[in-house]
Amino acid sequence: MVAMPRVLILLLLLTACSTGAGAADPAEGDPPLRIAAGPDAETLLLAHVMQRLLDVEGLAAELVPFSGSDDSRQALELGAVDVRLGYTGEAWLETLGRPDPPGDPRESVAQVHAHDLDDGIVWLRPRFGEGVTEPPANATFAFAVMGPPGADADLRTVSELATRLSEQADARMCVDPEFVARSDGLRAVLEAYSVRSDRDFLAAAPEDAVVGVAAGDCLAGLTTATDGLAWRSGLQTLEDDLQVFPAFVPLPQVRLEVVEERAGTRRALAPLSSELTTSLLAQANAAVAGGETVGDVAEELATELRRRAGREDDEG
């Protein structure tokens, strides 16, 4: 079978969303806001959270599944969806087309926000600075070690891990082989933290890296800071204190005309951008990894985000 061109698929999707069965009659009110969903577990979860946040504020919303982030981004640009979950580091690479995404979340957010605003796409902004007890969620790469009562549970930063590795010449790391092979991968990270680049390591995808650390095969494993399996397995991720890894701040992206014309959309989604933290997202991912349904976890997370935003007594 010959694959349909991507643009044609998106145009058909746009037509279906505007005229197909289930669309609201404009005479009866605004049609449901269309939220791009998936494909990976974390973006799917946050799509459900956005749907719940909109619903509780009286704004109808529906999920539109996608098999890839490129497709959902293009759908947002074409107006085939209204809302999408974006990651700043991914946008820096794919949308801005720039190498070396910054490790500073502030810079990452500011640059992609400014770029996309010119294209009619609004990134809802997180909170930084005074009064913020925990920084915004950052789903960046992260080294993880075994938490209490593990022998290395005292480690909190990658700088401390570097010192431990220097002290233990036989300590191994579990790292994805692709990351090892890249010139800007493991070698660059170790160099930044002044660790010898010829260290022994075990080739392991993130899930296997978590298993390797839990089993004691590796002192540290490379995964992401919001890895639910790592959280469930008792691992703790280390702060990238030199900000070597690129920031991947997850935030709602909304078409500018929706922000301007659909009153309440920005306010409804604001708790996700302002209150989501790395630990909250990791715990939610852990719940899904443990078998809880995405819908139930999304409901709980949306409720917690609204509570933190002072909205718990403001139901719609």
Q: For residue 142, give the nearest of 119, 176, 167 by alpha carbon.
A: 176
Both structure tokens of 311: 């909205």
pLDDT of residue 180: 87
Intervals of CATH 3.40.190.10 along the chain: 7-12+33-135+250-308
Q: What's the pTM value of the predicted model, to 2 decimals?
A: 0.88
DSSP 8-state assignment for residue 198: T
Please tell me the class of the 7-12+33-135+250-308 domain.
Answer: alpha beta
Which regions of 74-187 does DSSP assign to beta strands (E)?
83-87, 121-123, 141-146, 173-175
Give the pair of three-digit tokens for residue 2. Answer: 């010959």
Amino acid at 193: Y
The residue whose two tokens read 């577990």 is: 41
In which region does residue 145 sit, left (phi positive, over 0), alpha (psi from -120 to 50) or beta (all else)? beta
d(CA 267, CA 54): 9
How many angstroms separate the CA atoms of 161 and 166, rounded? 9
pLDDT in tens, the chain (316 residues): 333 333 333 333 333 333 333 333 433 578 999 999 988 999 999 999 999 999 999 999 999 999 988 999 999 999 999 999 999 999 998 888 888 889 999 999 999 999 999 999 999 999 997 677 788 999 999 999 999 999 999 999 999 999 999 999 899 999 999 988 887 788 889 999 999 877 888 999 999 999 999 999 999 999 999 999 999 999 999 999 999 999 999 999 999 999 999 989 999 999 999 999 999 999 999 999 999 999 999 999 999 999 999 987 665 4
Q: For CATH 3.40.190.120, list the domain ranges present in the chain.
A: 141-237
pLDDT at 16: 37
Query: What's residue 98's pLDDT?
Result: 83
The CATH number that domain 141-237 falls under is: 3.40.190.120
